Amino acid sequence: MMKKNLRSHKFIEPRIQRRFAFLFLSTAGTAALLQTIVLAYTLSSLAGELPNDGLLLSARIGKFLVTSFFITLGMLTPLTFALGISSTFKIVGPLYRFRVFLDQIRRGERPGPCRIRKDDELQDFCELLNEAMTTLHGENEGADDSLGSDQAKAA
C-alpha cells in the first residue's frame, strides 16, 4: 500500500531547487579546491624536506593534485546535488503549497485550511495563513450579514 502523501515530482519548484543545488555544488567545489591547495602546500613542504627524490616528488605533485581534485569533485558532485535537492523538499514543498493555496483564494475559491506534511518546515507560516483566512472569512461573513440586513430593511 502506498502512502498518501508521497511526492509525485522530483522537482517541486525546479528554479528554486536548482539554485539551492548550485549553491551546495559551489560549496563542495570550493571545499575540493581548498583541499587541493592545502594538499599542494603540504606535499611541497614534504618534497623540500626529503633527502632524496624531493625534486621527483615536486615534479609529479601537479598531476597528482589535478587528478585528486577531479576525483574528489566527481564524487562530491552527484552526492551534493542529490543532498541539495532532497534537503530543499521540506522548505520548497510548503512554499509550493502556499502558492497553490493563495492562487485558489485569488481565483475566488474557498480551499479550506492550508495543510502541509507533518515533517515539513514553515508549519508556523501555514498556521498563520489559516488564522488570516479565518479572520478574513469572519469579516466577509459579517459584511455579508450587515449588507443582507440593510437590504432587508430597505424591502
- Segment 27-40, tens digit of pLDDT: 888 988 999 999 88
Is the per-residue pLDDT at 66 higher than 70? yes
Statement: the pTM of the whole predicted model exceeds 0.85: no
Contacts (Cβ under 8 Å, ≥6 apart) of 80: 21, 24, 25, 27, 28
Classify residue 5: in a domain, yes or no: no
Classify residue 25: in a domain, yes or no: yes
Classify residue 8: in a domain, yes or no: no
The boundaries of the domain holding residue 55 are: 14-154
Pairwise CA distance, residues 25 & 23, whole Å = 5
Classify residue 106: in a domain, yes or no: yes
Q: How far is CA 43 from CA 51, 55, 63, in A?
A: 14, 12, 12
pLDDT at residue 48, as a whole number: 85
Average pLDDT over the chain, rounded to whole?
81
Pairwise CA distance, residues 72 & 81, whole Å = 14
In the chain, how many domains are there?
1
How would you label 34-71 residue by residue, b for 16+ Cβ within 10 Å and e otherwise?
eebeebbeebeeebeeeeeeeeebeeebeeebeeebee
Is the per-residue pLDDT at 146 higher than 50? no
Q: How far is CA 63 from CA 5, 43, 60, in A?
A: 50, 12, 6
Which three cell numbers mark 130?
489559516
Classify residue 114: in a domain, yes or no: yes
pLDDT at residue 4, as a whole number: 55
Count CB neighbours of 85 within 10 A. 19
Classify residue 97: in a domain, yes or no: yes
CA atoms 8, 10, 15, 16: torsion sign = positive
Classify residue 130: in a domain, yes or no: yes
Residue with cell 548550485: 22
Is the per-residue pLDDT at 155 higher than 90? no
pLDDT at residue 152, as a whole number: 43
Say which DSSP state 2 is in: -
Classify residue 30: in a domain, yes or no: yes
